[in-house]
């Protein structure tokens, strides 16, 4: 099972979109263990939403969709709803 996820950094007002077969470990990497990469600059991260897929290729396709302008707009809508940023 693969999960596509969107993260939000409330302190920096940033989003991140990714996929993983082990979301719990991936979140530890984003928030604690990682020592390089874009996400370490904007910790802590909170999960805005997840979607599950049976195959890696399906998850990768959805991740690419969410990284388009329209997909990012959708993620920001989810952030706005979850954090009452209206």
CB atoms within 10 A of CB 23: 18
Topology of 2-83 in CATH?
A: GIY-YIG endonuclease (3.40.1440)
Q: Where are the domains of the chain?
A: 2-83
Average pLDDT over residues 5-14: 97
pTM over 0.85: yes
Fill in the DSSP letter of residue 7. Answer: E
Tell me the pLDDT tens digit for each residue of 27-66.
999 999 999 999 999 999 999 999 999 999 999 999 999 9
Q: What is the dihedral of CA 77, 73, 76, 29, to 10 degrees?
A: 130
Instruction: Report the pLDDT value the prediction gives residue 8, as an integer from 0 to 100.
Output: 98
């Amino acid at each position: 099972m693969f999960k596509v996820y969107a993260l939000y950094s409330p302190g920096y007002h940033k989003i991140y979109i990714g996929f993983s077969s082990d979301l719990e470990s991936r979140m530890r990497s984003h928030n604690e263990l990682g020592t390089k990469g874009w996400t370490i600059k904007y910790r802590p991260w909170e999960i805005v939403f997840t979607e599950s897929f049976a195959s890696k290729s399906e998850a990768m396709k959805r991740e690419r969709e969410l990284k388009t302008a329209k997909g990012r707009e959708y993620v920001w809508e989810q952030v706005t709803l979850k954090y009452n940023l209206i």
